[in-house]
Amino acid sequence: MSLLDDEDNTPFETSNTSDLDLKLQYSIETLTQILGPIPSLSSSQDSSLTLLHDTNLTQTISTHLKLPNSGAGDNNLCRWLYDTFQSSHPDLQLVVLSFLPIIAGLYLPRAVLRATSLAGFEAILLALYAHETTSRDGQPITVSIPDLSNSSLYHESKAPIKNKAVELNMTIVSPSLEPHGTVRSTRRARIVGVALELYYKKIALMPMSSKIEFCKFCLVWATGKEDGDGEDSVGKKSLLGDQKEASSSSNGDHGVDGSKEKREMKEELSEEKSWRRVPLPWELLQPALRILGHCLMGPNRTNKELTDAALSATKSLHARALQDVDSQAILATGSLLRLGTMASETSTEPDHTEIRDYMNPVISL
């Protein structure tokens, strides 16, 4: 599998249309039983598109996922996400994938604390890992790197000309995958990293809020703090959600009982412990940097909130690499930081007074 085919803008594979409609209807009915009535779905002509891009619905699901006991095996929302992805409905699989930043972002710090059951989160991550394992069919992701020992077409070489054909240097970006039925501490980074690789393949189809959420959690992974400064405490406003907004949105739009929501919010504030820095081996850091690279230099780089969040996350990961004295991570994060800074400083509007010259690259009138 070539790296050139790795970013895929097409949905997942489809099956029979009538079967997909039944799966979509069943999934919506099940979600309604968990969250209550969802007006935006009943009035929408394309329910799968609403599930993926509806802001209020995304906020409600995110708020439930950020509760202290959300990752347990008996959590109804985790069960819905797992069953929805296993339904093989391409649009529903994208919906589940859009919540991966929150799932992985919460799972890794909680796994370090080992305070609560995380079987629900682990089941979702294993489902994503199994899907990617099957789609790769035992093949690694590779990229061809030119051999610099060969003479350039544009320069004379004193070295004797080789008669044999130029050999391709293949580098493995992501090794072949082995099936896993459980998440052990030694496999945790690899399983989450493969899930992020799947997210990256479909990143062009992901909503903006999902990408911003990922950038925020990258900062938490690197520093153990939401903003990278101050005490090592939980960033409750943006990562745990604005409680007043989430509560009013849930009560007004989705019929969730107000008193129950307040109790859950109080429980969230009292039980959620401080974040912890998580181990960042290359198998986890590499796909994270590829996602951040898309946020910094991709089609949505004009969105200031996204680029600011991605740049802040990259700076934190670079500082973390320097602290860990990880040469590979230092080189990768430093390069991405420079590219991201250059991209943010580049004006998107063309300067029509600019005259380009080979000797003097830019002359402005």
* Residue 165 placed within a domain: no
pLDDT tens string 231-284: 333 334 444 444 444 444 444 444 444 555 555 444 444 334 457 789 999 999
**Burial grade of 42 (CB within 10 A; 0-12, 13-18, 19 or more):** exposed
DSSP 66: T
* Residue 46 placed within a domain: yes
Q: Has residue 226 got a pLDDT over 80?
A: no
* Residue 1 placed within a domain: no
* Structural domain of 52: 17-138+176-240+276-345
* Residue 12 placed within a domain: no
* Residue 302 placed within a domain: yes
pLDDT tens string 12-55: 555 566 788 888 889 989 999 998 888 777 666 777 888 888 89
pTM of the model: 0.77
Total number of domains constituting the chain: 1
Q: For residue 50, what pLDDT is reported?
A: 84
| Number of Cβ atoms within 10 Å of the Cβ of 143 | 14
**Distance between alpha carbon 362 and the CA centroid of its chain, in Å?**
38
- In contact, 247 and 258? CB cutoff 8 Å: yes
* Residue 70 placed within a domain: yes
Under DSSP, is residue 293 helix (H, G, I), strand (E, B) or coil?
helix
Strands 169-174 and 354-355: unpaired
- In contact, 259 and 95? CB cutoff 8 Å: no
- In contact, 180 and 187? CB cutoff 8 Å: yes
State the average pLDDT over residues 313-338.
Answer: 96
- In contact, 72 and 120? CB cutoff 8 Å: yes
| Number of Cβ atoms within 10 Å of the Cβ of 191 | 25
Q: How far is CA 84 from CA 50, 81, 196, in A?
A: 15, 5, 18
Q: Has residue 364 got a pLDDT over 80?
A: no
Under DSSP, is residue 170 helix (H, G, I), strand (E, B) or coil?
strand
- The residues, ordered by sequence, that sit 6+ positions from 324 with a Cβ below 8 Å of its Cβ are 280
**Distance between alpha carbon 97 and the CA centroid of its chain, in Å?**
8
- The residues, ordered by sequence, that sit 6+ positions from 150 with a Cβ below 8 Å of its Cβ are 162, 166
pLDDT band at 213 (very low <50, low <70, confident <90, very high): very high
* Residue 166 placed within a domain: no
